[in-house]
A and B are shown apart, each in its own frame.
Chain A
Amino acid sequence: MEVALEDNNLMEKVLPPDEQEIDVELEAKEKKYLRGEGANLESLKDKKLKTQLASREKLYGKSAKAAAKIEKWLLPASAGYLETEGLEKTWRIKQTDIAKEVDLLSSRNQYDIVLPDFGPYKLDFTASGRHMLAGGRKGHLALVDMMNMNLIKEIHVRETVRDVAFLHNDQFFAAAQKKYSYIYARDGTELHCLKERGPVARLRFLKNHFLLASVNKIGQLHYQDVTYGDMVASIRTGKGRTDVMEVNPYNGVVALGHSGGTVTMWKPTSQAPLVQMQCHPGPVSAVAFHPNGHLMATSGKERKVKIWDLRKFEEVQTIHGFHAKTLSFSQKGLLAAGTGSFVQVLGDSSGGGHSRYMSHPMVKGYQVEKVMFRPYEDVLGIGHSMGWSSVLIPGSGEPNFDSWVANPFETSKQRREKEVHLLLDKLPPETIMLDPSKIGAMRPSRRKEKPTRGEIEAEKEVAIEAAKSVEMKKKTKGRNKPSKRTKKKKELVENAKKTFPELEEKNIAGKKRRIGEDAAAELPTSLKRFARKN
């Protein structure tokens, strides 16, 4: 009878299927926010520490749960997607089809700006996706407010512009021009001329570190701190000229693609590359990083696009028969690739690798120069030889923006405050490393553990000094003789000296002798007389 009752209770406890689904979903999210598993506390012997850590873990769990719930219930928007029925394929859907279905505001994001005179255009978006910078090869720089399609400033520098990049916000941008690179203000005023770098091929800005990284024609990599203008590092890559450069948004490591098919990764504090990867047999034509920093896409001229796992430095996927002049990952992990007048978007919907998601053929003769997803919007910006275009790629952008991180609707006051915060939170250049989560952890053990002679000497001296400066107790009459005191002090110093391995050599000698003696001792008595006596 009792058992039956219990069963009933169990039945009651089983949640309805939709709630279970929610639970599963929440759990997945919770796991994400837990940032890995806690340590195994069972192995700890210290009970106090154990309880402390256990309570801490509990709090972490609580926090993760709360965060997961917030994500589940409070984030207003969900990501868009293309849904097909039956035999329809997403990549057959054209922009015109999409235009019919979407709302007015989104359909405004489909356009072509035809500027045939100054082409091919490079593009860059601010972190919030509000502003776009377009730099025409022939010297045309345009700053556009994407929200209201307002041209903020348009200047013509009358020389080659190889690349453009926003600094920390829309107020400043840098342009790599024919001889030097320059920094301009929002209103088009030239603020700085960066002569040290030489003719720069690519420019990238590291937001968290306030570093402007550039690679010049002769393959030199420069890091310049834009807050105080110092050149933090200038590194000779020694791999020749390159114009493939991308920043890993996760850790700030700069990747360069070289003509030998290698991709090298750099940080400002070391002259040697952190990682060199042989990715392609032919020249590398484009590199892109997934926002979470774990995936890298490279394209070689041998018509292959490869996707790499940067945690293992192994190839995850190879896409054949396809070569990209420019690659870009969206916030949600879609990969756009542009070649000639054709743009292809790959998606990882099923988790089994990237596959075709959408494609967009441009007018024949347009040469795609740069593709870049607009943050927080389902929009792909395409810079090409005849201006720039914008197409809708459903599901590419993060649907919910965090106004503390990047606010598209930022007021000027907020922007100023943000700027101060960014400066306060600026990371020093040495924090750029392959695994930034290791900051604060134990120092990795050195290969060479032995201290040098000088270090030993210094340490010994310190110890001797400490022994000498020991205050002696004032003892009673008769026990306080100066001779005794000096003797005692000498003893202390001797002891201090003894602890240092300078004596080791002598000890070794002594040991050797002892070994000889031991050998004699070990010999059978009849042979002992033959043992050598030193």
Chain B
Amino acid sequence: MGGLKRKPSSSAKALAKSKKKKGPHLPNSILKVIANQKRPLNSDEEDDDDVIGSDDEHGGDLYEYEEGVPEEESRKNNRYDRHDNYDYELPDDFEDENVESEDDDDGGNSDNDEAEGDDDDDDDRHTRMLQSLTGMPSAAFEGESKSKPVLFTEAYPEGEFNPTRDVLEGKNVLTEEDFLAPLEGTPGYQKTSKQIARMRKDTKHVVHAPLPKPQRERLERKAVIGLVDEEFSKWVHLVKKNREAPTVYFNQDVDLGYSTVGAIASEFQPRTEFEKKMASVLNDSEVSMEDHIKDHNHIAKMRSLLFRHEFKSKRIKKIKSKTYHRLKNKDLKNSSLGALMDPEMAKEEAMRQEAKRVEERMTLKHRNTGKWAKRMISRGLNVKYDGPKAAIAEQLQMNANLSRKMNSMRDGSSSDESDDEEELNDGADEDTPSRLIAKAKEKTLKALEDDEVPNAGLMSLPFMKNEEANEEAKRALEEYEEWENSGGENSKKTVNVSGRRVFGATAKVEAPKESRKDSDNFYDDSDSDNDMAGIEDNNIEPVRDNASPARNTITETEKFDDDVAGNPASKTTFDVAMFASGSWKKMAGSKNTESKKASRKTRAPIPQAQDKKGWRDEESEDSESEAEQMVDGVLTSTSKETFEVPSQAELINRAFAGDDVLDEFEKDKEEVLNQEVPKPEKPVLVPGWGDWTNIQKKRGISKQMVQKHEAEKKEWEQGLKTRKDARLKHVIISEKVDKKAEKLHTTTLPFPFTSKEVFEHSMRMPIGPEFNPSTIVGELNRPEVVKKTGVIIKPVKFEEVNPNDEVDDEHPRNHQKQRPKKKTSRRQGKVKSK
């Protein structure tokens, strides 16, 4: 206590310190004493301030050495009892003292300090007395006591902001030990020391001193800005989208509520017990209703199928006919499945098919030519009843199937023709055309016989067809016989078969010369026959099939023109519209010999006609060949020669006229160019200037003038070069500026554009309704903002926007979306996902 009184300045400092550190009051004062005066504690009791002062002036070593023992001892001696007592009585005493007086309060606080002796008490009492007498605050008296003993080494007063030198030097800084030291030996000391040790180790829970305000605020701002950014960055996409959108819509959405039953159902929430139960059953069960129904249906279907199959097999099993089963098994074997599996079988099958086809093509079966079919047709039963009708149709179908070309069946050959050709060649090699013909004859005979036999319901649709075929077959037979008789005498005769003809390559045809001759002969006969009969063929096909060389004959046309003959090697096939051509009548009337001649003509190698011969020749040819009358009211005439050949004089005239014209044009061009890009004048001296002396003449034109002229000339040349017609000798393109048309151009680029090219490209498309489909015109001409009058523009609402998807104009986003609509959509999505 006494310490406090004696050194008020230090005590004040201690007070401040204690306040700061929130430690107990007394130890601070003690510390002060120790720090400042360096006086052993026990000397307190011995007192004498002066001595203390001298002590201070002693070295610290001595003091420290002495400090330990006496202090402890004294403590022990003095306080043990008191402390005990104090501990024991504390609650009562404390309160009492607190209530009673300041003094007591002091005493209460300074629990450890009573050891400091009576002197302090005396002083205290003294000041109190003085206080009570004078009525002045104790502070006034404290000054006296303060001034007495203290020695100041510093010029400034010691205080909170003026720490002592030791503190500054970091020497005698207070540590926990310092506080603990006096407590050593007291009960609970161990505990507290441990606690402190732990505290020291534990750096985690150290509460640091708060940072200075600006720093702290800066940190806070930094933290906050992150949050705010996050918050606002959510809007960035939305804002960006709105900015980039070509059109912003402010239309009021008319919310019609739920439009469909599904939407309402999706909104349904179970409320009552029953509903909840149902919902739980529906949602929790693994199999959904739909699946269940599907399964059920599937099972039912399978069952019914099984049942039917069973029934069928039972029925079949019941059939006792052996033939039926045999046939059935055979069918199974021959079915396409088997054929597919076995290549051997497939080949066989193909062969069989081919044979069938050949037979069909030969016999003309299945064309409803049979007795039954005829009868059916004649009586009209095929129309009346479905059964015969179907049968007849089936036959026809079969006929069509069988007589169709079947290239796919062949392995190597590409087409019928080539096969035929091979056949032909073979025939030629073997030199047995007679055999071939005999074969054909035989087949024809067979066919004839076949036709006589009524095959079960195989008749053809056209009633007379069969007879025709028969007739033809008979004719063919006659021909064969005739040929056999004649034995290939007559040659170099061609056929005049109208209809489809094939022009084979000459090389190909000419290679087997002998055979061709033969075939020619043979066909010549047929030709004559044809003439006799006057038949327009059509049904000659079977015959021709048998005697395939027919395909390769070159037929003649009367109007075989140069172009045709020009490429005799072409393999093209074409139909000669003989009857369509006007010249046919004439030809028909003409003799056979004529046609022969013509044919020979064509056969002979004709040099390639020159296309560049000019049209005139061909025209004249045309006109020569054509003898036309006025037909159907169209006036056409024989234009024999529409272009008269110009006379020599005329030609010369023209030739001379041309030169002049060209020269003139060149002159014209020069003139125009001079006008538009004027040629710079040559620098000349003023006549007579400087004549009186020849100095100037010697100098000539000044250098400057020459230079200027040269520059101008260069510019002029450049100007000529950059003209559009610079390279076109025959063209003058005026580059005069049309002042009236200038207003149709812009002088400057409109604002956002920076390059002329881009601007002009952007202007290339018209956007009006005349040039665009009506579906796009609206979009092309839509204003930037679409808003109905009277609609309040609401602030933008937040919505999730995918930054990657682009703005589509077709489904413009509405900026005034209604809440409920969105909700439903989201919920629907959820339901779906479930």
Residues on A close to B: CB < 8 A? 34-41, 43-46, 48-49, 51-53, 55-56, 59-60, 62-63, 66-67, 70, 85-89, 92, 94-97, 99, 107, 110-112, 114, 260-262, 267, 269-270, 272-279, 281-282, 301-303, 313-314, 320-323, 339-342, 344, 356, 359-364, 366, 389, 391, 404, 430-431, 433, 437-444, 446-447
Contact = CB atoms under 8 A, between A and B. Distances in A.
Contacts of A430: 738, 740-741, 743-744
A281 B760 contact: no
B520 to A, nearest CB: 22
A444 B776 CA distance: 33
B745 A439 contact: yes
B654 A301 contact: yes
Nearest to B780: A59
Contacts of A62: 776, 779
Contacts of B749: 442
- Of B614, B634, B736, B761, chain A has the most CB atoms within 10 Å of the CB of B634
B53 to A, nearest CB: 72
A344 B643 CA distance: 13
B614 A49 contact: no
B773 A342 contact: no
B635 A443 contact: no
A276 B654 contact: no
Contact of B632 (A67, A85, A96): A96
Contact of A67 (B616, B642, B772, B807): B772
Given A341-B637, A437-B764, 4 more contacts: A39-B757, A66-B773, A275-B733, A282-B658
B636 A96 contact: yes
Nearest to B612: A320
Interface in B634-689: 634-640, 642-643, 646, 654, 657-659, 661-662, 664-665, 668-669, 672, 677
Contact of B572 (A86, A267, A341, A344): A86
B98 interface: no
Interface stretch (B88-96, B303-311, B539-547, B724-732): B724-732
B755 interface: yes
A53 B639 contact: no
Given A63-B780, A260-B661, A269-B741, A97 B580 contact: yes
A94 to B, nearest CB: 6
In this complex, the member of A70, A276, A364 whose beta carbon has the largest number of chain B beta carbons within 10 angstroms is A276
A92 B622 contact: yes
B716 to A, nearest CB: 11
B679 to A, nearest CB: 14
A38 B628 CA distance: 58
A340 B642 contact: yes
A360 B626 CA distance: 13
B752 to A, nearest CB: 4
B753 interface: yes
A314 B755 CA distance: 31
Given A96-B636, A111-B634, A431 B741 contact: yes
B734 A361 contact: no
Given A270-B738, A281-B662, A89 B632 contact: no
A52 B246 contact: yes
The 3 tightest CB contacts between A and B, nearest first, are A86-B574, A281-B658, A361-B639
B604 interface: no
A66 B633 contact: no
Contacts of B580: 97
A313 B657 contact: no
Interface string B223-250: 0000000000000000000001010000
Contact of A86 (B575, B633, B640): B575
B753 A277 contact: no
B471 to A, nearest CB: 31
Q: Which of A269, A275, A356, A446 has the most CB of B within 10 A?
A: A275
Contacts of A37: 761
A270 to B, nearest CB: 6
Contact of B759 (A270, A441, A446): A441
Contact of B734 (A44, A111, A274, A323): A274
12 contacts: A38-B761, A41-B758, A44-B754, A95-B636, A96-B634, A261-B658, A281-B654, A313-B733, A430-B743, A442-B747, A443-B742, A444-B737
Contacts of B731: 275-278, 313
A35 B758 contact: no
B818 to A, nearest CB: 27
Contact of A55 (B246, B572, B640): B246
Nearest to A39: B761
Given A63-B776, A301-B654, A313 B725 contact: yes
Nearest to A344: B615
Contact of A440 (B576, B665, B744): B744
A379 B198 CA distance: 115
A108 to B, nearest CB: 10
Contact of A362 (B635, B654, B668, B779): B635
Interface string B759-794: 111111100001011011001100000000000000
